[in-house]
Amino acid sequence: MKTHLKIFFLLLAGLAIAGNVRADVKKQRVDLKNNIREMIRSEVQNDLYEPFNFLYQEDVYKMDESVKIIFFLNEQSEMELKTVQCENCTAGNYVKQLLEKKKLDVDKSMTGKMYRIDIHLNYRAL
């Protein structure tokens, strides 16, 4: 009877540890999402202040598009875009030139994996 109690206790401890690991992974994914969001904001803001930016060269004055991105985060924490899906190819090309090979500040445990993010581009020229 005592043996069964010990095994049961060890299983509970194992489940508690696994729960903490899942919480850490969830926190890392939220951190990655926030990191990407801030990087996109910064890149878009910098890009729009360039006189001959991508959208200007493509004669885009208005854009309201959803873009699905699948990328690999390599060992150097750089984004390697694998798939960029959207209805408007100009929006897809804009995202490609904006994000390809961008370095992210993430935990090393997040590297070497594939990720999927959805972003929404809403742009209006003044």
Residue spans of the domains in the chain: they are 2-124
What's the pLDDT tens digit per position in 34-43? 888 888 888 8
Annotate the chain with three-state secondary structure: CHHHHHHHHHHHHHHHHHHHHHHHHHHHHHHHHHHHHHHHHHHHHHHHCCCCCHHHHCCCCEEEEEEEEEEEECCCCEEEEEEEECCCHHHHHHHHHHHCCCECCCCHHHCCEEEEEEEEEEEECC
pLDDT interval class at 10 (50, 70, 90): very low
